[in-house]
Amino acid sequence: MFRLTLRALRAEALRMLMSTVSVVLGVAFIAGTLIFVDGMRAGTYDRAATFDRHTDVDVHTDGEPSTASLVDRVRTVDGVRAAEGELTGTAGVVGSDGRPVLGFGFLAAVPADPALQSYDLVAGRLPTRPGEVVLDHRTVADEGFALGTPVRVGGSSGAARPYTLVGTVDVANTARDLGGPFIGLVGPDALAVADSAGFDRIMVAAEPGVSDRVLAERIAAVVGTEPTVRTRQVILDEAVTDAVRDLDQFRTLLLTFVGVAVVVAAFVIVNTFTIVLAQRSRQTALLRLVGATRGQVFRATLLESGLLGLVASGLGVVVGAGLAVGMTAVLSRLSLPLHGEVTVTAGTVLGCLVAGTVLTVGAALVPAWHGTRVAPVAALTDAAIQVTRPAGRARLACGAVVLAAGVAALAGAAAAGQILLVALGGSLSFLGIVLFGPVLVPALIRVFGAPVRRIFGATSALAVANAVRNPRRVAATATALVIGIGLVASFVVGAGSTKAAIERGVDAQVGVDFVVTGIGVDLPVGVVDALAARPELGLVHEARTHTVDDVVFRAADPALVDRRLDGVLAGQVDRLGPGRVLVHRELATRRGWSAGDRITLRGAQFEVAAVVTGAGGEVYSAPTGHLVDLVAADFTRLFPDVRGYLAEVDPAAGVSAASARAAIAEVLADYPTVNLMDQAAYKRMLTGTVDMLLTFVLALLGLAVVIALVGVANTLSLSVVERTRENAVLRAVGLTGGRMRAMLATEAVLTALVGAVLGVALGTGVAAGAMAMLGRISGQFTLVVPWAQLGGILAVAVLAALAASVLPARRALAVPVVEALADQ
C-alpha cells in the first residue's frame, strides 16, 4: 500500500497542487512569524541592559522619584566607586532651521562619572558639567550641528535653552532609539528640562574587589526597606524579561492571525480531499475487490495526506524564512523600535513541519473516512463518480437554529452592552453559515445568477447549474471566503465607525480654529501664557482635568463650555466665572447640591452656578457624572502643578487665520515638544492611528483571503477534471473556447461573490453589535457603513475569482475533444 500511495500521489500531483499551496502559505505565515520574533528575541538578549554595562547595583523607589539627597547617601556607602541618578523622559531639539527636529525626542540623564558611562561615542565626549549636551550622530548629521556650538533643547519645564554640543553617540537599534533625537544631559540639567523632582533610579559602580551582592546588602542597610536594591544579574534578568514579555505579546497577536489563515487552509484541504476521493471511487473499489480492507484504504489516504503535508510544510518553512528576511529588511529601513537578526532554530523548523503535517492529516480525516464508506460494487458504476451526498436534515435544522441564535445575539448586544455577546453572536452566526451552507449558498448562487442568465443566456445557465450541482462542495468553498472577508469587513466597518466617532467628538468638543498639543507629554510650563500674551490670539484655553476622591475637576472656558454640555437642569451656565462652578447632575444628586448653594471644594468656597448634564463622549476614572467645571484661574488655584496635554486657540477679532497661525508658530519655535494643528489636522492625527492599525490588520488577514481564493481555483480545477467528458460533449456540440472560459469564469465569480457577500454581511453585523455596545458607553459611537470600501472588497473578490478561473479554463481546453470523450 505504501508504494501504491506514492504512485497515486505522483499521478495526482497536479490535483493536489492548490491544496499544497494553501498549506505552504499557512506554514509560511507561521514560520515567518516565529523566525522573525526569534530574531528579535535574540537581539533582545544582546541588547539587554545596553546602558548598564558598568552598573553593578541600582536603587529605585516604586512610584516616587529618587532625590539628589538619596544619591548622596548612596555615594557614602563603603565599596561604592560611583553613584549617579538616571532619568529618562521626553524632550526636543530646535533644528538648524529654527524649527523643532521631527520625531519623538528621548531625554536621558547621562552619568558624568566615567565609571558608569556605557554609551558608544562617535565623536567628542559625554557631558560632564551643566550646560553641555550629547546628541545621537544621526540628528547631528541631518541638522549640520558642529561640536562646540550651542544647540537649543526644551522639555516640560518651559522654553528651549542653549546647551553646548560636546559629543555624538550611537544609540541605533537600542531601546533609546525611538526615531527622533536622543538628548543626553548631566543629571541636574535633565531634571530641569523634564521638570522632575527626582531621578527614576540610581546607578552604582562597585569598587574593585567588592561583589555586587555584598554592595547591594550594604546599600539596602543605608537606604532602608522602601527603595528596591538590585544586583547586576537581577538588572539584566528583569531587562530581558520586560523585553521578552513585549515580544511574546507581539508574537501572540501575530499567531492569532496565523490561526485564521490556518483555519481557512483547513477548509481548502478538506474540500480538496473530499473531491479527490470522490473522483477516485473506482480506484478505491478496485482495491477493495482485490482484497484491501477499509482500514488499509483509510490509512493509505492518511499517509498520502501526511506526505503532502510534510513536503508542503518544508516549502512553507523556506518561504517563511524569506518572509522573515523581508520583514527584517523593511524594519531596518524604517524608524521603528523593532530590531533583530533572522534566527532559524531547530525548534521552529520542527514545530512548523509538525504543525503543517498535522493540519493536513487532520483535515483529511473526515474525507478519508467517508471515502471508504462506498460499497465496492456501487463504486464501479458511473454514478459513483458524481457523488453528491446531500446535507443531513439534522445538520440543516441545527444550522438554521444556530444562525438565528447568532443573529439574535448580535441584535441583543446593544441592549445588553456586553462585548462577550458580540463575540458569541459572531461565532454562532459563522457556525450557522457553515452548517446551513449547503442550502444557503446554492440559493444565493441562484439568486445572483438569475440576472446573469437573462443577460448571457445558456452559458451562464450552465455555470449556475454546475456551481450548485454539489451543494456541500460549493458551500465549503464559499465558507472559506466567509472567514477572511468577514473579519476584513468587521475591521473595515469598525474602523470607519470609530473614525466617524472621533471626528464627531472633535467637532463637538473642540470649538476653535487651532489646537496646540504636547508631543508625548503635557504642555510645557509657560507655553499657554506665551500664547495668551500674543495680541493676534483672542482665546487660549488649556484643557486640564484632575481627579480627587472620585470627583473630576475640569478647567472650562465660559466661551466653550456649552459644547460639552447636553442640558441645564437648574441655574444659569453663563454665570460660570471666578468663584462659581458648574456641577453635573449625578454629583449634585449624590451630594445634595442645588443651583445657588455655597459648597466647599478642596478647602475653597464656591457657588454652584448651575446643575448640568454632560454631552458624553469623554471617559474619566471617576463615576459617570461626578464632574465639576470651573474657570482656569480657579483650577490653577486648586491644582497649581497640573498641566494639560492640549490648548484650544482662536484668533482675535479681526485677525485672519493665517496671521493667527503665524503668531502661534512664532511662539512654539521655542517649545520643541509642542505641535500646532488646525481642526482638520487634529482629526487626521487622531484617526491616523486607526488607519495604521487597520492597514496592519488587513495585511495580516490578507493571507487568509488569498488562501480562500486559492480554494476557489482549486475547487474549479478539480471540477474541470471531474467534468472532462461533459465539457467535451459541450465542445463537440458547438460550445466555443470563449464560452467555455466564460462559463467557468461565471461559476468562479458566483461562488466567490456569495462567499464575499456572506462575509461582508457577517462582518458588518459583528461591527454593528460592537458599535451599538460602545454607543451605550459613549454616545459618540454609532454605526457608519463605508459602502465604497465594502464595494471594493466585493470587487476585489470578483476580480480574484476571474483570475482564479484562468488556469482551470486553460486546462479544460487543453485536452482534445476526442481524447476527452474517451476519459474514464
pLDDT digits (tens, 9 = 90+) for 336-355: 555 567 778 888 899 999 98
Average pLDDT of the residues in 166-194:
90
- Asked if residue 478 is part of any domain, the answer here is yes
For 418-455, the pLDDT digits (tens) are 778 888 888 899 999 989 988 999 999 999 999 988 88
- Asked if residue 614 is part of any domain, the answer here is yes
Q: Which of 108-112, 136-140, 718-722 has the lowest mean pLDDT?
A: 718-722
Dist. CA 722–CA 305, nearest whole Å? 20
The residues facing 584 across adjacent strands are: 612
In this prediction, what percent of the chain has a pLDDT beyond 90? 38
Within this chain, do residues 621 and 684 fall inside the same structural domain, yes or no?
no
pLDDT confidence of residue 368: 76
Does the CA dihedral 173-178-181-183 come out positive or negative? Answer: negative
- Please tell me which residue, 393 or 762, carries the higher pLDDT value: 762
CB atoms within 10 A of CB 97: 9
What is the Cα gyration radius of the chain?
34
Within this chain, do residues 604 and 712 fall inside the same structural domain, yes or no?
no
Q: If you write DSSP's letter for every residue of 402-467 in order, what string do you get?
A: HHHHHHHHHHHHHHHT-HHHHHHHHHHHHHHHHHHHHHHHHHHHHHHHHHHHHHHTHHHHHHHHHH
Q: Is the pLDDT of residue 387 over 50?
A: no
Q: Which of 390-394, 632-636, 712-716 has the lowest mean pLDDT?
A: 390-394
pLDDT confidence of residue 342: 75
- Asked if residue 401 is part of any domain, the answer here is no
Average pLDDT of the residues in 138-153:
94
Dist. CA 217–CA 56, nearest whole Å? 12
pLDDT confidence of residue 628: 94
Within this chain, do residues 175 and 164 fall inside the same structural domain, yes or no?
yes
Cα-flanking dihedrals φ and ψ of residue 304, to 5°?
-60, -45
- Asked if residue 474 is part of any domain, the answer here is yes
For 534-574, the pLDDT digits (tens) are 999 999 999 999 999 889 999 999 988 888 888 899 999 99
For 622-651, the pLDDT digits (tens) are 788 889 999 999 999 999 989 998 999 999
Q: Which of 50, 43, 41 is nearest to 108 (CA)?
A: 50
Dist. CA 144–CA 624, nearest whole Å? 52
Average pLDDT of the residues in 66-81:
91
**DSSP assigned state of 15:** T
Contacts from 372-379 at CB under 8 Å and sequence distance 24+? 372/284, 372/294, 372/297, 372/298, 372/301, 374/281, 374/284, 374/285, 376/285, 376/288, 376/289, 377/285, 378/285, 379/281, 379/282, 379/284, 379/285, 379/288
List of residues 6+ apart from 244 with CB closer than 8 A:
41, 44
Dist. CA 425–CA 291, nearest whole Å? 50
Q: Is the pLDDT of residue 6 over 80?
A: no
Within this chain, do residues 597 and 643 fall inside the same structural domain, yes or no?
yes
Burial of residue 438, with CB atoms counted within 10 A of its CB: 0-12 exposed, 13-18 middle, 19 or more buried: buried
| Contact assessment for residue 269 and residue 360, using Cβ atoms and an 8 Å cutoff | yes
Dist. CA 130–CA 515, nearest whole Å? 34
Burial of residue 726, with CB atoms counted within 10 A of its CB: 0-12 exposed, 13-18 middle, 19 or more buried: middle
Question: pLDDT band at 147, cuts 50/70/90?
Answer: very high
Query: Last residue of a domain, which of 652, 679, 706?
Result: 679
Amino acid at 198: G
| Contact assessment for residue 203 and residue 111, using Cβ atoms and an 8 Å cutoff | yes
The residues facing 678 across adjacent strands are: 514
| Contact assessment for residue 516 and residue 674, using Cβ atoms and an 8 Å cutoff | yes
- Asked if residue 325 is part of any domain, the answer here is no
Q: Is the pLDDT of residue 380 over 60?
A: no
Query: Last residue of a domain, which of 627, 655, 679?
Result: 679
Average pLDDT of the residues in 221-226:
84
Q: Is the pLDDT of residue 388 over 60?
A: no
Within this chain, do residues 452 and 526 fall inside the same structural domain, yes or no?
no
Burial of residue 554, with CB atoms counted within 10 A of its CB: 0-12 exposed, 13-18 middle, 19 or more buried: buried
Q: Which of 116-120, 217-221, 237-241 has the lowest mean pLDDT?
A: 237-241
Parent domain of 592: 512-679
- Asked if residue 286 is part of any domain, the answer here is no
pLDDT confidence of residue 778: 65
pLDDT confidence of residue 779: 62
pLDDT confidence of residue 731: 82
Q: To the nearest whole number, what is the mean pLDDT of the chain? A: 85
Within this chain, do residues 636 and 737 fall inside the same structural domain, yes or no?
no
pLDDT confidence of residue 385: 47
Q: Which of 159-173, 494-508, 741-755 has the lowest mean pLDDT?
A: 494-508
**674, three cell numbers:** 509642542
Within this chain, do residues 784 and 661 fall inside the same structural domain, yes or no?
no
Coil, helix or strand for 689? helix
Q: Is the pLDDT of residue 750 over 50?
A: yes
Does the CA dihedral 216-218-221-223 come out positive or negative? Answer: negative
Which residue has 488499509 as its cell numbers?
296
As separate numbers, helices (DSSP H) first and strands (DSSP E) second, the chain gives 25, 23
- Asked if residue 716 is part of any domain, the answer here is yes
Q: Is the pLDDT of residue 824 over 70?
A: no
Query: Last residue of a domain, which of 176, 209, 243?
Result: 243
CB atoms within 10 A of CB 290: 8
Number of domains into which the chain is organized: 3
For 246-302, the pLDDT digits (tens) are 777 778 888 888 888 888 888 888 877 777 776 666 677 666 666 677 777 788 888
Q: Is the pLDDT of residue 397 over 90?
A: no
For 119-133, the pLDDT digits (tens) are 989 999 999 999 999
- Please tell me which residue, 434 or 824, carries the higher pLDDT value: 434
pLDDT confidence of residue 62: 74
Within this chain, do residues 585 and 702 fall inside the same structural domain, yes or no?
no
- Asked if residue 57 is part of any domain, the answer here is yes
Buried b (16+ CB within 10 A) or exposed e, 230-249: bbbebbbeebbeebbeebee
Within this chain, do residues 655 and 725 fall inside the same structural domain, yes or no?
no
Within this chain, do residues 493 and 580 fall inside the same structural domain, yes or no?
no
Within this chain, do residues 527 and 593 fall inside the same structural domain, yes or no?
yes
Within this chain, do residues 172 and 233 fall inside the same structural domain, yes or no?
yes
